[in-house]
């Protein structure tokens, strides 16, 4: 069994990261083959996958299979920094550059010199930092905050995100030029449910790993327990599987993990009948259509008044927030004209205009006939 694990550290006990990755399922084997093709190069890599699917593990494996394996691997979560400190964290700062800068400090780019810098959740970077990151990738040099001196850096970038950067680009929240710069080689990491052949190998790995920590050996995973693991949809992916196995080891008896020992989420629609579904439907619970259907089912049960209007208003308002209150980007995202979008935003109170200078639109009856859900 080909398995990749994170360094064993107590900090991972409360982490949402996956701590192990296997490549047993056919989709995982295809991913591994592609990874092995691109790893020896120095090309930037973009890893796409949901939280808990093992993006950092994939990035580490790329590093280990490259010529940079003797250099450092530095993992940075771009969403973990305060916006006013992101630049100093990435590029470093000089003493006195800002309040609290008591000493000169190298940034993560300098720390990763000669190795690989893993930028997790890169979509969370502020636009101003995206501009500076693009320059660093082009010029291969950084300038610390509070300094005018450039410092050469030799770093390979592996970036990761759990959101569709293409949509973020369309919404104006991510620079297109930076997207193309980091998306030289792309690795799409499927959700755990979409690669069922990995579930039991991972479960057995976690049984052995946590069993050793608890002083227990030769723990058996009963057939009914295995079937329960395979039926579950794993919305929390590999990390959720590890937590479920850890809990089962704590409560099981007679060195056997039974079906009742597996405490899984009680969220609706998380089980599926794998025997009754075709292989192509494995991804269904994660598709936009399936998510919408569940939301609609709940609305139908609640039976709110003026349902169509309620859904249309909610969609426009959510798109407006997603596009950071930019009318043009909201209209493009929804596939509507700007006038129709503007009229809808005004009607629901999301946009306030000076009535004396408002456009000649009937705001009480905006042209919703062209708006389809």
> Domain 195-261, what architecture?
Orthogonal Bundle (1.10)
- DSSP letter, residue 146: T
- Residue 286 scores a pLDDT above 60: no
CA distance 206 to 214: 12
CA distance 341 to 122: 30
> What are the extents of the domains in the chain?
39-190, 195-261, 304-370
In this prediction, residue 297 carries a pLDDT of: 67
Identify the burial level of 237 via C-beta atoms within 10 angstroms of its C-beta, where 0-12 means exposed, 13-18 middle and 19 or more buried: buried
Continuous H helices in 92-219: 108-111, 127-139, 165-170, 176-182, 199-213
In this prediction, residue 99 carries a pLDDT of: 82
Residue where the block lists tokens 């309040």: 99
In this prediction, residue 198 carries a pLDDT of: 95
In this prediction, residue 171 carries a pLDDT of: 86
353 — pLDDT class (breaks 50, 70, 90): low
98 — pLDDT class (breaks 50, 70, 90): confident
- DSSP letter, residue 151: E
Domain range 39-190, its CATH number among 2.60.40.60, 3.40.630.30, 3.40.50.150, 3.40.50.300: 3.40.50.300
In this prediction, residue 301 carries a pLDDT of: 65
- Residue 187 scores a pLDDT above 90: yes
| Range 243-246, long-range pairs (CB < 8 A, 24+ positions) | 245/203, 245/206, 245/207, 245/210, 246/206, 246/210
CA distances to 219, 239, 360 from 215, in Å? 11, 22, 76
Highest mean pLDDT among 145-149, 270-274, 333-337, 340-344: 145-149
- DSSP letter, residue 258: -
pLDDT tens profile 222-267: 999 999 999 999 998 999 999 999 999 999 988 999 999 998 876 5
Comparing 39-190 with 195-261, is the CATH topology the same? no
CA distance 228 to 245: 12
Crossing angle, helix 338-347 and helix 307-322, to 10 degrees?
A: 110
CATH (residue range 304-370):
1.10.10
pLDDT tens profile 64-76: 999 999 999 999 9
């Amino acid at each position: 069994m080909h398995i990749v694990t994170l360094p064993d550290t107590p900090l991972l006990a409360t982490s949402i990261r996956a701590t192990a990755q296997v490549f047993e399922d056919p989709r995982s084997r295809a991913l591994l083959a592609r990874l092995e093709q691109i790893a020896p190069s120095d090309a930037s890599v973009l890893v796409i996958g949901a939280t808990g699917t093992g993006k950092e593990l994939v990035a580490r494996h790329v590093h280990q299979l490259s010529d940079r394996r003797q250099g450092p691997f530095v993992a940075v979560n771009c969403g973990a920094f305060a916006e006013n400190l992101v630049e100093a964290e990435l590029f470093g700062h000089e003493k006195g550059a800002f309040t609290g800068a008591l000493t000169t400090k190298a940034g993560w780019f300098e720390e990763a010199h000669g190795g690989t810098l893993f930028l997790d959740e890169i979509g969370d970077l502020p636009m101003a930092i995206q501009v500076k990151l693009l320059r660093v990738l082009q010029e291969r040099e950084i300038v610390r905050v509070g300094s005018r001196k450039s410092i050469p850096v030799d770093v390979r970038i592996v970036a990761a995100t759990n959101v569709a950067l293409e949509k973020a680009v369309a919404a104006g929240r991510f620079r297109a030029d930076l997207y193309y710069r980091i998306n030289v080689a792309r690795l799409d990491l499927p959700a755990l449910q979409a690669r069922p052949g990995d579930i039991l190998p991972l479960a057995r790995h976690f049984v052995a790993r946590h069993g050793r920590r608890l002083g227990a050996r030769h723990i058996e995973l009963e057939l009914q327990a295995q079937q329960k693991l395979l039926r579950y949809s794993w919305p929390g992916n590999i990390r959720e599987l590890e937590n479920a196995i850890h809990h089962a080891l704590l409560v099981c008896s007679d060195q056997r993990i039974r079906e009742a020992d597996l405490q899984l989420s009680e969220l609706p629609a998380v089980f599926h009948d794998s025997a009754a579904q075709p292989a192509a439907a494995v991804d269904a619970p994660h598709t936009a259509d399936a998510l919408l259907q569940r939301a609609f089912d709940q609305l139908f049960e609640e039976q709110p008044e003026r349902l169509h209007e309620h859904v249309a208003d909610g969609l426009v308002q959510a798109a407006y927030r997603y596009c950071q209150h930019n009318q043009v980007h909201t209209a493009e995202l929804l596939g509507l004209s700007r006038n129709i979008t503007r009229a809808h935003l005004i009607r629901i109170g999301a946009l306030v205009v000076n009535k004396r200078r408002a456009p000649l639109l009937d705001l009480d009856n905006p042209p919703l006939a062209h708006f389809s859900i």
